[in-house]
């Protein structure tokens, strides 16, 4: 009996292989998008609080916003301690972490809140991201000897062009604001981004991938309450604090809760996808914040502003581009706190 020769078909991947390949990417992508949405919600709440100008108010908002992160960090650090895992960094690193916390709280969070009052979401967020990424690359090269490859250099060029476009568009975006107000706001936003980037360098230099994110965030959030909230409380006085409306307290609460969700979502995403891809997903908040600024706060989108935001997104997209082989290698070698993950630490 003659049998027909069986036609060979290419072997298809086993279900387990497919799950191993795609499930972590899908899970990490979803967590990254949750982080971007939560950061956008936090930024909207902070923008809603920007009607009161001044550094003291910006510090007060940042201090109150740190409370939910502090509570969540205490719970997670306590759980690690009770389960026998390393809960706290060694004593010799605390001083470095405290220095990084000062840089993040005053240069990063306080300046970010203050900038929102002057140049809104539509300019603050893309400038912060542009200076954060570019500043991290430059400082990493100067102090850690990290190479700047062609892709990073091209990305930095696009981000620099975006800042130039946003600067030229500022008058049209905020026609009623003075040149001094706009210049101050953009300087504050740039300072915020550089401070976030410098903070990542300190964590990268002294901590590497040895310690948990929750222990670092515990120190960062505690410093926010102590360094910003407490001094602002005494400078404002009980009478001024008593004048804070229920709506403002509500916005501070949701800014803190959203920020805590965003931070831990992006930290969880980094267990499944490379840090640079998680940061790229997180950077989608640039477009979302611009849209929120227009729809909610009546900020003006000019053609040049749109070009600047587009260049920011293009620069971050280029930075996040990875070949499939490189992507797999990064997934296999990712540590608990990788070099790029430190860039995401924005309490």
Percent of the chain with pLDDT over 70: 80
pLDDT of residue 1: 45
Which pTM value belongs to this model?
A: 0.80
pLDDT at res. 328: 53
- Read off the pLDDT of residues 73-95 as tens digits, 9 standing for 90 and up: 999 999 988 988 877 777 777 78
Q: What is the pLDDT of residue 339?
A: 42
Q: What does the pLDDT look like over 233-260, one tens digit per residue?
A: 999 999 999 999 999 999 999 999 999 8
The residues, ordered by sequence, that sit 6+ positions from 264 with a Cβ below 8 Å of its Cβ are 72, 213
- Helical H segments across the chain, by residue range: 15-48, 55-82, 91-102, 111-144, 150-173, 179-206, 213-223, 230-242, 246-269, 275-282, 285-295, 303-320, 324-333, 339-344
Give dist(CA 308, CA 123) in Å, integer. 9
Length of the chain counted residue by residue: 347
Q: Residue 138: count other Cβ atoms within 10 Å of its Cβ.
A: 16
Kindly list the domain boundaries of the chain, sorted by start residue. Answer: 29-344
SS3 174: coil
Q: How far apart are CA 217 and CA 224, in angstroms?
A: 10
Alpha helices in 296-345 (DSSP H): 303-320, 324-333, 339-344
- Spatial distance between the Cα atoms of 347 and 110, rounded to a whole number of angstroms: 11
Residue 214 tokens, joined: 């929750």
What pLDDT was estimated at residue 9?
47
Q: Which residues of the chain have pLDDT under 50?
A: 1-10, 12-21, 323-325, 327, 330-331, 333-343
Q: Please tell me the distance from the alpha carbon of residue 292 to that of residue 272, in angstroms, as a whole number.
A: 29
Query: CA-CA distance, 306 to 289, in Å (whole number)?
Result: 13
Angle, vertex CA 327, rays to CA 326 and CA 330, nearest 5 = 85
| Phi and psi torsions of 83, nearest 5° | -95, 5
What pLDDT sits at residue 7? 46
pLDDT score of 299: 87
Structure tokens at 296: 């909610």
**How is residue 322 written in tokens?**
């990875």
Contacts of 183 (CB under 8 A, 6+ apart): none
Kindly write down the DSSP assignment for every residue of 249-306, as one continuous string: HHHHHHHHHHHHHHHHHHHHHTTTS-HHHHHHHHTTHHHHHHHHHHHTT-----HHHH
Instruction: Tell me which residue of 183, 157, 158, 160 sits closest to 170, measured CA to CA.
Output: 183
């Amino acid at each position: 009996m003659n049998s027909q020769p069986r036609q060979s078909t290419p072997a298809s991947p086993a279900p387990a292989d497919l799950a191993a390949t795609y499930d972590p990417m899908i899970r990490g992508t979803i967590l990254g998008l949750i982080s971007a949405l939560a950061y956008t919600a936090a930024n909207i709440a902070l923008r809603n609080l920007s009607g009161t100008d001044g550094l003291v108010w910006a510090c007060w908002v940042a201090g109150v916003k740190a409370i939910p992160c502090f509570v969540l960090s205490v719970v997670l650090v306590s759980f690690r301690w009770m389960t026998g895992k390393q809960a706290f960094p060694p004593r010799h690193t605390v001083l470095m972490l405290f220095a990084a916390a000062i840089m993040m709280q005053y240069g990063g969070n306080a300046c970010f809140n203050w900038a929102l009052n002057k140049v809104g979401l539509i300019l603050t967020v893309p400038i912060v991201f542009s200076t954060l990424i570019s500043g991290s690359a430059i400082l990493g090269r100067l102090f850690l000897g990290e190479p700047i490859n062609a892709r990073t250099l091209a990305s930095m060029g696009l981000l620099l062009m975006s800042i130039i476009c946003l600067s030229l568009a500022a008058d049209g975006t905020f026609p009623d604001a003075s040149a001094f107000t706009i210049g101050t706001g953009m300087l504050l936003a740039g300072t915020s981004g550089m401070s976030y980037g410098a903070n990542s360098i300190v964590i990268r230099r002294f901590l590497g991938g040895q310690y948990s994110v929750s222990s670092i965030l515990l120190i960062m959030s505690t410093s926010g309450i102590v360094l910003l909230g407490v001094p602002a409380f005494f400078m404002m006085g009980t009478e001024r604090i008593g004048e804070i409306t229920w709506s403002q307290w509500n916005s501070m609460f949701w800014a803190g809760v959203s920020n805590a969700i965003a931070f831990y979502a992006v930290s969880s995403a980094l267990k499944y996808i490379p840090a640079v891809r998680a940061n790229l997903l997180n950077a989608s908040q640039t477009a979302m914040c611009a849209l929120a600024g227009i729809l909610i706060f009546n900020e003006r989108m000019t053609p040049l502003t749109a070009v600047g935001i587009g260049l920011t997104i293009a620069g971050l997209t280029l930075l996040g581009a990875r070949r499939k082989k490189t992507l797999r290698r990064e997934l296999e070698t990712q540590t608990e706190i990788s070099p790029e993950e430190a860039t995401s630490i924005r309490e």
